[in-house]
Structure 1
Amino acid sequence: MPDRCEVLPGDAVVARRGGGLLWVDAPGSPALVSALHACLGVSGPGADRVLAAVAGEVSSLASGGASFALVLTTDAGTGVALWAGKGQPAVDGVPVSGSSIEGGTLATGVSLGQSLYVGPGQSAPRTPPGVSYDLVEGTVPGGGATLHLAGAAPAAAAPVAAQSFSAGTDSGFGSGGASVSAAAARPESGEQTAFWRPESTDATPILRFDDGMVVTIDEDLVLGRRPDNHEMVSSGSARAVPIADTQNVLSSAHAALTRSGREVSLVDLGSLNGTHVAGPEATEWTQLEPGVAHPLSDGDRLLLGWTVITFEQPQD
């Protein structure tokens, strides 16, 4: 089981779920971050086939020379890696090699060893203080990431039977989505195909970004360019939601969403350019007063910098 994740300072995004590690350097493509992050839920012996399909979709999202690396644990001590650009993985200091596919490079049977690094260049010999994270699940900014293992990586959870792999707009793949038939993806040995499926959000409010990315509001959130340093996040009372900002119009911690039962409120955290909200039919934005909670209703639109987000509250 991963013991700790050391994240180097920078503007990339690092995420981990169970035995999977993600590194993305794509400040202009939150959809790419969302798509790859969703794939951390892949498990089972068919992971390489699923990631090959994912790479084809990612290639349509990764414009402008974006780099990424995704490493998944498949069974004891081994993994599957997918990467493109400058985020090539290295295990115990040795770069991983793989086969070129559409959208990136794919390697299977990767021995995870005791240290796994993804990011540009070589792993830093010593991680600067204050940037070590015990990521169970989530995202943080970083220039690169070194995942240290306490021991051999555990076997992934037993895969659930699935008929196909698919992804729609909610997962950040775009409106067309992708699919791989069970017949094409199932290994010849008859083992079940690895799969990904979005977590159910039927009863949980969500934020839908203008590029298709979806964030579940299952706890208090802090949104901004680098929200991980805000006191709500460092104290553990909220989750950080980094937003790509190529125009430098977002504050590090721009706004927060707080929950009280089913009610969700938006709070401006003293941002430089303000936080704005508008109802579903409104034609003008209303700027919030810093520190004053504004209750949200289904369909309300949020404006943070140049990012437009729609709040959706499922009905009972």
Structure 2
Amino acid sequence: METSAVEEFERHRSRLFGLAYRMLGSAHEAEDVVHDAFLKWNGAKRDAVASPPAWLTKVVTNLCLNRLTSARVQREQYVGPWLPEPILTTDGALGPLETAELRDSVSLALLFLLERLTPTERAVFVLREAFSYSHREIAEILDLSEANCRQLHRRAHQHVGTREPRFEPDPRRRFELVQRFLAAARDGDMPGLERLLAEDVTSWADGGGHMGMARRPILGRDRVARYLAGGFTKLPPGALTLELAEVNGAAAAVFRLDGVVAGVVVPEAVDDRVATLSIMANPAKLGFLAKQLSQN
């Protein structure tokens, strides 16, 4: 392939990866899709491509739609809650996330909600909400009518619901909340934990059926506080360390066991109280994050 063609593709790589990740909720699958798109770009008659960005966006979207169709059955058979694969959002892998709206577009809470959508609804929602494509442009990407795209967008919003950006704009305050939250959980400080949890907080844990994690969501301040405090007492002493990191646009804690990434805890807060808690401990979903951390 000519150097210019490679350079053209590389200019769009982070945007294409960000699109695929939002569509699939999986970083390693998004990497595979981007690689497949590169192969298609390599084999294309590029002189006939009027707009490389539009062409590549269409290719990646269609590759994701194919994967989502086959993934639906696998996710329905998944043991316990299926959570999106966590990813660091400070290294530019997903492109710029300069606003609360853009950070929210990769939040674990929103990506989890997108699982309610059909593959086509998800494509329309992501292209419109995260990348600001017009309905006319989306119609061209998906080979649908503009009216159909508008209808799919409305339907997607009905399933996802109205959301306001959930992130505290000051990064320092976001990480301070996580530190207080972890300290209270580690110390078994039930009053302290309850002060930091919203009354209707929900905790989701994804261990892939292998890590002894809760296989159903835990609802409510009291139950979540007891679950967290009890969970910390079961952790092996000494060899466990944690570090703070920005994961999916949110302040989070990464746990290591004997130096190996073993889990991620992402508390997402509203008005300084944790409203949603995502716990990822499935080793199969921690590899991309571990690779990112090793490169930082």
Larger helix proportion of the pair: 2
Q: Is TM more than 0.5 here?
A: no
In the superposition, the TM-score normalised over structure 2's length comes to 0.30
Larger strand proportion of the pair: 1
In the superposition, the TM-score normalised over structure 1's length comes to 0.29
